[in-house]
Amino acid sequence: MSSVIAIPKTAPFSAEDVDLLNRVVGPASPVQRAWLAGFLAGVEAVAGSAGVLTAGAEFAEAGVAQAQPAAPARPAEPLTIVFASESGNSEKLAGDLAKNARKLGFKPNVVDMADLELSTLASAKKLVVIAATWGEGEPPGRATRVYNELMGEGAPRLDGVEFGVLALGDTAYAEFCAVGKKLDERLAALGGKRVVDRVDCDLDFAEPAGKWIDGALKTLAPADAGRGRVIEVDFATKPAAAPNTDIVEAEIIEHVNLNSSRSDKETVHLALAFDGPAPAYQPGDSLDLYPENDPAYVDDLLKAAGLSDDAALRAELIASRDVTTLSAKTVETYANATDHFYVKKLIADGEVKDWIAGRQLIDLLTTFPIALDADKLRSLTRPLAPRAYSIASSRAEVGDEAHLLISAVRYRAFGRDRKGVASNYVAERLKKGGRVRVKLKPNKHFGLPAADKDIIMVGPGTGVAPFRAFVQERRATGATGKSWLFFGDRQFTHDFLYQLDWQDALKDGGLTRMDVAFSRDRPDKIYVQHKIWERRRDLIEWLEKGAHFYVCGDAKSMAKDVRAMLVKAYADVKAVTPEAAEQAVATLEREKRYLTDVY
């Protein structure tokens, strides 16, 4: 049990301050005192102060007994935290882990996998990896290069490295948490010692991730954590105040379909106004939009479950539950809840993965019908998550507004018309004068460079949204760097999104040049990557002079095709091998001059 100490009356404080300090320091634990001592020492070190009278001298002068340390304090325990993040969740959890680790006597080093030098892992005695899975089992775009290197033959041995992996994913995808699983296996195969079992988190990751972090730190902490150990305090820089990311309501002041009436697409320009100042967004940031489900779909779902008369459940399902996603986990839950013979057979035969592809929850209930109660139906759903949309405006030009560009997703599959939840909530049920809930989602990895740097932007379809913000910002701030936009869609006449905006920007210099590709206007379809090839000499010249290259839009095909075409362009223009051209593009990525925001 620690002895109670008291600040002597001779201390250079007023009587009231001495009383206040004694109320804090007197009952403090050894760990809390150690932290305070480290904090004050750091303050003095940064300030360059010298000759400060120590507390020990004051205590001796006052005749107060002092507890003597049994041994000198030892340095904080190093902890390497690597995150692989696409939407920012893994990065936030890495920050939370680092904050908690400092309290336990660790010295955390947080590293984005995109910036990781693999050779440093071998010297990391304790390692935590927090990794998201993107799309169909792929690593986040920025982390792809390092991830592939880690999986390759040249990866370093990790003998003696204690590690744990936290995996983030989405059960709506067949390859749930695949990247985290593969990293966990790979670290062990390289000789690492798994001391914390992996946990795979779904979209509602906050609680399980928090528990995992607490458990991991307790496991990784030395046996004598908090005793005689320096508490790590970072005095290097004062972090900038984080922008407000609370959910806010916005009024819809513009709701305009940018496609013509003859187009088979509907792309909505949504302008939002706020009761107070707009969220402090920057070009490249997104807004999370909180949708509601299609009431007609919910009615069909309730009918299939035999619950059409449950008004309270209907309201809940419309407002707050994900009623469309169908995953292998959902099928298993349905089988356990209903004991349905054919559903259990589907699982036993290993056919679930193929069967659920392209289907939704309502297909499960109509194909294998059985009466459900409200709790059983609710158990097949999960919380309705917001959808992120790139902000298509700059506050420097539009003031306290925020603009979004949203394409309504509609298709037919397995004999049923399908609709994207959020996009059709916006397109069909939101109207001018209505209100919608949104939340700022910062993206510090997709921002503009210095004002004198040139930028090349590739954004077909709604991928052009952040580049409208880029052009507005650079025009409003008088940036001197040149800007080049590659845009594509189906038809020039019907699908040229923000056409007048781009024409005005070309006239006033906000946009230096623009190339377009409309795939349905000619027999041989042409896309943005083909325009990149046509303009390859100018494009490579821009990059050689320091331009930054941005890609936004479809991750599954477009982003991969654009990168592959840029590699091909380098090889042709510079007359180098494909391997050398690949290294040239990889260098752009390492230098953070090749940036993507894909979905």
Say if residue 285 is in the same domain as residue 406.
yes
The pLDDT of residue 55 is 42
* Residue 361 falls inside a structural domain: yes
Say if residue 56 is in the same domain as residue 100.
no
The pLDDT of residue 316 is 98
* Residue 506 falls inside a structural domain: yes
* Residue 131 falls inside a structural domain: yes
Provide DSSP, 280-346: ---TT-EEEEE----HHHHHHHHHHHT-TT-HHHHHHHHHHEE-S---HHHHHHHHHHH--HHHHHH
The pLDDT of residue 49 is 40
CA dist., res. 235 & res. 434, Å (int): 47
The pLDDT of residue 43 is 54
C-beta of residue 487 within 8 angstroms of C-beta of residue 460: yes
CATH number at 268 reads: 2.40.30.10
Q: Which of 298, 475, 451 is nearest to 397 (CA)?
A: 475
Query: How many residues can be counted in the chain?
Result: 599
Q: Which of 85, 110, 319 is nearest to 205 (CA)?
A: 85
Residue 535's φ and ψ, nearest 5 degrees, are -105, 25
* Residue 57 falls inside a structural domain: yes
CA distance readout (Å), 361 to 301, 352, 358: 8, 13, 10
The pLDDT of residue 223 is 67
CATH number at 159 reads: 3.40.50.360
CA dist., res. 124 & res. 120, Å (int): 7
Which residue numbers in the chain have pLDDT < 70? 1-5, 9-19, 30-31, 33-35, 37-74, 223-241
The pLDDT of residue 176 is 92
CATH number at 536 reads: 3.40.50.80
CA dist., res. 231 & res. 211, Å (int): 23
CA dist., res. 497 & res. 515, Å (int): 14
The pLDDT of residue 41 is 58
Strand partners, 552: 597
CA dist., res. 316 & res. 517, Å (int): 44
Q: Number of folded domains in the chain?
A: 5
Residue 309 C-alpha from the chain's centroid: 40
The pLDDT of residue 38 is 64
Say if residue 525 is in the same domain as residue 555.
yes
The pLDDT of residue 12 is 65
Say if residue 280 is in the same domain as residue 316.
no
The pLDDT of residue 364 is 98
Say if residue 591 is in the same domain as residue 475.
yes
Say if residue 271 is in the same domain as residue 308.
no
- pTM to 2 decimal places: 0.83
* Residue 422 falls inside a structural domain: no
- Residue 340: domain span: 295-383
CA dist., res. 515 & res. 496, Å (int): 12
Say if residue 215 is in the same domain as residue 112.
yes
Say if residue 529 is in the same domain as residue 584.
yes
CA dist., res. 27 & res. 14, Å (int): 20
* Residue 3 falls inside a structural domain: no
User: Strand 77-84 relative to strand 193-201: parallel, antiparallel, unpaired?
Assistant: unpaired
CA dist., res. 464 & res. 499, Å (int): 11
CA dist., res. 82 & res. 184, Å (int): 13
Strand partners, 163: 127, 194
The pLDDT of residue 222 is 75
Q: Which residue has the tokens 């336990």?
A: 104
Say if residue 488 is in the same domain as residue 521.
yes
Say if residue 550 is in the same domain as residue 573.
yes
Structural tokens at position 492: 């020039």
Say if residue 485 is in the same domain as residue 575.
yes
The pLDDT of residue 136 is 80
CA dist., res. 151 & res. 149, Å (int): 5
CATH number at 332 reads: 1.20.990.10
Say if residue 205 is in the same domain as residue 321.
no
* Residue 236 falls inside a structural domain: no
* Residue 90 falls inside a structural domain: yes
